[in-house]
Structure formats: structure tokens, C-alpha cells
């Protein structure tokens, strides 16, 4: 039974994610019978499976929601924002019970009688009475009588045939970016099996699984021939469910293989003529291909992290009384599953921030002759081995004067310091802890908690976040993150006879400095700087930061190496004693004894067997 419950939780969670998207689309397209059919089937499947597994509380909530959807399907209730809000209440209640079920193995104590009562009143009154508990919102454009009649006529699509079967599309998703769609197969109505219907993974714009445009209730059931079975079996057999722990373990083993390959390559480099050169090259090629193949199993489209945003935007537009449109580009861009999980919360906060702080009210947009509907755009793409995610809004932009005022009030800077800063530098104050320009605290923002956590979490995974804003035009947040955290490219440097690794995502260029060279280290108020292409670059000695003897300073910065690093929009130079080579390394977590030292992000084993720290 535990296995059945586990399978039910997985598949129902996927169904709920799809329902979030489909309900938003139904609200925007109330006449679309294909979307309505998909929603009804998913809710019906959840209800039936709950009854099969003996989960009465989940079944009763889903059943009441299905009653409302049944009236909508039959054309008795017109799709309005009130209708959609009620169904969202059902989904949120189901999610809450599911969370408890997954942690404790049983349904929580309590009652959903109030929600069920309101749903039943709404269904019995054909949408005329919401029972006094639904959010009061204006109805969207009602469909025409002809459209309602068309839905009613198409209701036969959902009726069981003479054998008691109803056509239901079987869609499988096996923890993979790709979705395998199988032709419609009959599923028993009265006792659906928990593994019979698996909803597709959350996608930014999922294609409806089947269109009920053509009534098929009167069609004779066609016996499945050998060709049909072979085709369905072939498609379904292209994907399997694999536990994440198995993939993680496989990734670790490949990482160890990469380390061993590097060690063998190091040995081979010390001997010019040896019999191992050719097989080692072949081994290196195979290991690289294996590494690439295993990495693909971890990659997922970023659209999976965006799946909840249409629902979020819909709820925020009601709460803030703003008309907001969400646009998503590059949803198919892939990145590591681990990173995908880590950026979900930062992205959510930034989208909420754009809706609340960025977009103006309807009245303000009318005064500035902007379109009544504000736009928030998510754009993801690859660039130089990294993933770039842009969150763009066409709102009011950053209020520099307001930020200056708040910065002075919070003691973050003096008025004189602010006058010397550019607007771009002043905009970075929004990433300070406790900083907020909101006039009052609301459920959406105003507490000064959020943007500082966003930057901290993104920098924790080796990424950067930058803000660009044009007053009256809008704002853009640029997020730059690595493709994966498992295997990264680094530059190996030396400071005081010790080697360290610098992630290449932060390295811009290398400069050699000396008194007789083109670039010289100069002193400005006691601090070293480098004049690089007519810009003063502040310098930091790696040895001094690590509290080691600095050879470069002892030699008065003669013949020293400077690694130019970029964090966000800021550049600085890191003074090191020497530079070795770039290497692909397997990142190992920092020992618990060193976790308190913020200088290190991890460690790795080089080809010569030495352990070095990653800065």
C-alpha cells in the first residue's frame, strides 16, 4: 500500500501542476472545450484514485470540485473568475492534504465542510450563489449562447460507452524533460488504477492532451490490433522512472572516474614515450562522452521552474488590482536539476517584486499613456557556457530619489557619498538586508526581506544578479548562473606555495604587472590599484586575505600575476604568485570543520592527487 500511496502522490502532484496552468488558460479562454475536458478528466482521475486508496477527505473535496466542473462542462455554469477561484481553492486544499500525506502517510485530521458546502451551493445554484466564501471578483466576458450550447452538445464525449469506458489520454512523464504521449486508451471509470493515468510534467504552455471537439460516444469501440499495441508499447517503453538517488550516485561515480582520468593523464605527461598514450586517449574520450551523457540525465528545462508563474500572476493581478500579462521565452533552455530547485524561490520573489514595485496601477499607466495591461517577461538563454535569465517589466523603473532617501534613513550611506554614485550604483541598494521602498507593509512586500536573500542564494551557487532600470520605461534583472554545480571549469593559481582554484565563471582575463611592463601596480591612499585600459581596478592580495606571506608584496609587486574577476557588474584584480592551467574538476563539499570559513566554496582533487580548495 505504501508503494501505491507513493505513486499516487507523485502522479497527483504532476496533475495538480498541470491543473494550475490549465485553469489559468481556461479563465482566459472560457469557450475552449479542449482545456475544460483536460481539467475535468484530471480532477475526475484524482477523485477516483482517492476512493480506490481509501482517502475519504481528499475524495470528498475532489468530488465537490468535480460537481462544479461537471456543471461547467454541461453548459449550466459559465466560466467566470469566481468559478476559477473556487476550483483553485479545491486545488490548494488538495495540495495541503497531499503534503501532510507525503510526510505522515495518512490524511490530516480536520474538516473541509465549509469549502464543500460553498462548492455544492455554487453547483446547485448554477453559479448564481458562491456560498459567501469565494473571492468577489468581476466576471470576465461571458461566452455566447452558441458557445454554451456547443459545450453542452459535446458533453457526450465524457459519457461512458456501452462497456462502461470513457476515452482518456494516457500521458507519461518519467522525471525527464521529454514527455511521451500515448494514443487514447480506455480507462475504467468506476475504479481507476493509481498508475493508470500520469499527468504531464509542468510545462510553461502544455499542449492539451486531447480535444473533445468531435463527439465520439456513439463510435464503436475498436479492438486494439497488434500494430496498435506495438506502437503504444514502443512509445511508452521509451521512458522509465528512475529514483533521483540512483542518478546522484551515478553522477558521483562518474566524478570519481574523471578524477582518475586526470591522474592518469598527469602521469602520462611526465613520460614522453610510453605504451599507455593511445589507450589513455581513448579512455579520456570515453570518459568525456560518459560524463556528458550522465549530465544530460540531470538536465531539465527551466520551464519546469516557471510552471507556477501563470497562477502566481493571476493571483497577484487580483490582489494588487492590476492587469498583468506574463510572457515566457526560452522555456526549453536546460540546466542542472539541482540548480533548478535552488533558483525557484529567488525567481518567484523577483517576479512578485516586478508585479508589486515595478508595474504601475491602472490609473498611473493611463496618465502616462501606457497600455492598461502591464507585462512581465521571463527570458532564458545560453551564453558562454552559462544560463542567463532575465526578468523584465515595463513598469515605472527604479525611483532613484526614493532609494537615496531610504539609504540615508537606514544609515547605509551619507548624502555626500550618494551624490558621488551613479544611478546604477544607487540601484544596488535594493539588495541590502532590510531595505524596502514600499510605503506600507502588505502581504506581497514591504518588510525589506527578499532581495538580499535572492542575491545571497544566487551567489551561493556561483551566479550573479544585476539590475538595470530606466525611469518610466521599466526594469530588468539579469541572473547569470552556471549550467551545473557537479563538474566545473576552474583556473588553478598559487599563493605562498599553496594551490587554489578559481571558478572560471568569475574570471575575465589575466594580466602580468611590473615596473618595466605595460601594466604597473600603483598605490592610491595606501591601497594597490591597476590602471587597466584607462580604468582604475582595485586590487586584493590573495595571500593577505588567506593570512599567508605575500611574495608579490615582498617584491614590491614586481612581475606579479593579476586575475581580473567579475562579480555582477563589479570588477577587481586578485594578486596571485603564479598561474597554472585551467582544469575541469569535480566539486566536493567543504568539510564540516571548514564550513565556517566563507572564503571557500568547496574542494577538489587534482590529477597529481593533491587536494586544493575552491575559492
Q: Summarize pLDDT for 501-514 with one digit per residue, the tens.
A: 998 888 888 998 87
Rounded to whole angstroms, how far apart are CA atoms 500 and 548? 13
For residues 81 and 137, is the Cβ–Cβ distance under 8 A?
yes
Which tops the pLDDT comparison, 210 or 132?
A: 132
Helices (H), 546-614: 551-554
Using DSSP, state whether 110 is helix, strand or coil: coil
Which tops the pLDDT comparison, 173 or 42?
A: 42
Residues 6 or more apart in contact with residue 301 via CB below 8 angstroms: 177, 203, 331, 332, 333, 334
pLDDT digits (tens, 9 = 90+) for 250-303: 888 888 888 788 888 877 777 776 677 788 888 888 988 888 888 888 888 998
Rounded to whole angstroms, how far apart are CA atoms 84 and 94? 15
**pLDDT above 90: percentage of residues in the chain:** 8
Q: What is the pLDDT of residue 150?
A: 38
> How confident is the model over 350-375, as a mean pLDDT?
89
Does residue 390 register a pLDDT over 90?
A: yes
Q: What is the pLDDT of residue 101?
A: 87
Q: What is the pLDDT of residue 93?
A: 92
Beta bridge partners of 489: 584
Q: What is the pLDDT of residue 172?
A: 33
Q: Given the DSSP bridges, would you call strands 487-495 and 498-503 parallel, antiparallel or unpaired?
A: antiparallel
The predicted model scores a pTM of 0.64
In a 13 Å sphere around the CA of 292, the CA atoms on its Cβ side amount to 6
> How confident is the model over 326-332, as a mean pLDDT?
91
Does residue 198 register a pLDDT over 50?
A: no
470 to 294, 358, 365, 404, 424: CA distances (angstroms): 43, 11, 16, 16, 10
Q: What is the pLDDT of residue 192?
A: 37
Does residue 353 register a pLDDT over 90?
A: no
Q: What is the pLDDT of residue 181?
A: 33
State the chain's mean pLDDT as an integer: 76
Amino acid at each position: 500500500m505504501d508503494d501505491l500511496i507513493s505513486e499516487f502522490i507523485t502522479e497527483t502532484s504532476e496533475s495538480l501542476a498541470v491543473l494550475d496552468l490549465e485553469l489559468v488558460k481556461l479563465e482566459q479562454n472560457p469557450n475552449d472545450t479542449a482545456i475544460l475536458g483536460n481539467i475535468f478528466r484530471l480532477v475526475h482521475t484524482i477523485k477516483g484514485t482517492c476512493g480506490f486508496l481509501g482517502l475519504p477527505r481528499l475524495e470528498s473535496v475532489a468530488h465537490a470540485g468535480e460537481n462544479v466542473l461537471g456543471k461547467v462542462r454541461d453548459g449550466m455554469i459559465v466560466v467566470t473568475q469566481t468559478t476559477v477561484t473556487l476550483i483553485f481553492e479545491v486545488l490548494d486544499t488538495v495540495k495541503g492534504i497531499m503534503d501532510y500525506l507525503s510526510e505522515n502517510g495518512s490524511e490530516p485530521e480536520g474538516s473541509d465542510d465549509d469549502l464543500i458546502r460553498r462548492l455544492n451551493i455554487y453547483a446547485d445554484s448554477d453559479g448564481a450563489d458562491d456560498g459567501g466564501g469565494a473571492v468577489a471578483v468581476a466576471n470576465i466576458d461571458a461566452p455566447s449562447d452558441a458557445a454554451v450550447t456547443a459545450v453542452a452538445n459535446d458533453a457526450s464525449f465524457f459519457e461512458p460507452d456501452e462497456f462502461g469506458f470513457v476515452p482518456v489520454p494516457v500521458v507519461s512523464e518519467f522525471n525527464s524533460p521529454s514527455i511521451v504521449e500515448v494514443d487514447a486508451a480506455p480507462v475504467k471509470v468506476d475504479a481507476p488504477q493509481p498508475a493508470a493515468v500520469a499527468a504531464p510534467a509542468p510545462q510553461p504552455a502544455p499542449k492539451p492532451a486531447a480535444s473533445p471537439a468531435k463527439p465520439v460516444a456513439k463510435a464503436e469501440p475498436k479492438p486494439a490490433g497488434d500494430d496498435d499495441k506495438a506502437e503504444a508499447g514502443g512509445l511508452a517503453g521509451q521512458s522509465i522512472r528512475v529514483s533521483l538517488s540512483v542518478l546522484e550516485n551515478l553522477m558521483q561515480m562518474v566524478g570519481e572516474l574523471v578524477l582518475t582520468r586526470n591522474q592518469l593523464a598527469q602521469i602520462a605527461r611526465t613520460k614522453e614515450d610510453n605504451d599507455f598514450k593511445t589507450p589513455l586517449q581513448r579512455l579520456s574520450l570515453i570518459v568525456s562522452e560518459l560524463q556528458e551523457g550522465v549530465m544530460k540525465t540531470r538536465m531539465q528545462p527551466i520551464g519546469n521552474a516557471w510552471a507556477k508563474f501563470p497562477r502566481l500572476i493571476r493571483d497577484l493581478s487580483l490582489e494588487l488590482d492590476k492587469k498583468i500579462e506574463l510572457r515566457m521565452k526560452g522555456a526549453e533552455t536546460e540546466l542542472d536539476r539541482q540548480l533548478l530547485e535552488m533558483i525557484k524561490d529567488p525567481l518567484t520573489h523577483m517576479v512578485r517584486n516586478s508585479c508589486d514595485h515595478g508595474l504601475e496601477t491602472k490609473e498611473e499607466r493611463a496618465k502616462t499613456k501606457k497600455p492598461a495591461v502591464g507585462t512581465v517577461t521571463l527570458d532564458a538563454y545560453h551564453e558562454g557556457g552559462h544560463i542567463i535569465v532575465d526578468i523584465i517589466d515595463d513598469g515605472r523603473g527604479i525611483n532613484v530619489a526614493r532609494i537615496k532617501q531610504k539609504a540615508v534613513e537606514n544609515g547605509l550611506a551619507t548624502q555626500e557619498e550618494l551624490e558621488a554614485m551613479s544611478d546604477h550604483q544607487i540601484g544596488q541598494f535594493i539588495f541590502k538586508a532590510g531595505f524596502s521602498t514600499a510605503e506600507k507593509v502588505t502581504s506581497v512586500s514591504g518588510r525589506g526581506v527578499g532581495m538580499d536573500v535572492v542575491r545571497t542564494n544566487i551567489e551561493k551557487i556561483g551566479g550573479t544578479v544585476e539590475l538595470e532600470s530606466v525611469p518610466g520605461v521599466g526594469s530588468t534583472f539579469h541572473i547569470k548562473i552556471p549550467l551545473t554545480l557537479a563538474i566545473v571549469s576552474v583556473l588553478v593559481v598559487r599563493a605562498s606555495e599553496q594551490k587554489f582554484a578559481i571558478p572560471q565563471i568569475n574570471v575575465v582575463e589575466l594580466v602580468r604587472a611590473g615596473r618595466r611592463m605595460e601594466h604597473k601596480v600603483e598605490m592610491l591612499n595606501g591601497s594597490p590599484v591597476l590602471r587597466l585600459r584607462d580604468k582604475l581596478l582595485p586590487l586584493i592580495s590573495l595571500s593577505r586575505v588567506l593570512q599567508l606571506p605575500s611574495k608579490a608584496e615582498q617584491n614590491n609587486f614586481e612581475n606579479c600575476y593579476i586575475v581580473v574577476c567579475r562579480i555582477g557588474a563589479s570588477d577587481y584584480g586578485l594578486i596571485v604568485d603564479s598561474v597554472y592551467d585551467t582544469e575541469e574538476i569535480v566539486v566536493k563539499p567543504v568539510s564540516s570543520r571548514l564550513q565556517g570559513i566563507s572564503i571557500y566554496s568547496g574542494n577538489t582533487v587534482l590529477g597529481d592527487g593533491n587536494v586544493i580548495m575552491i575559492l
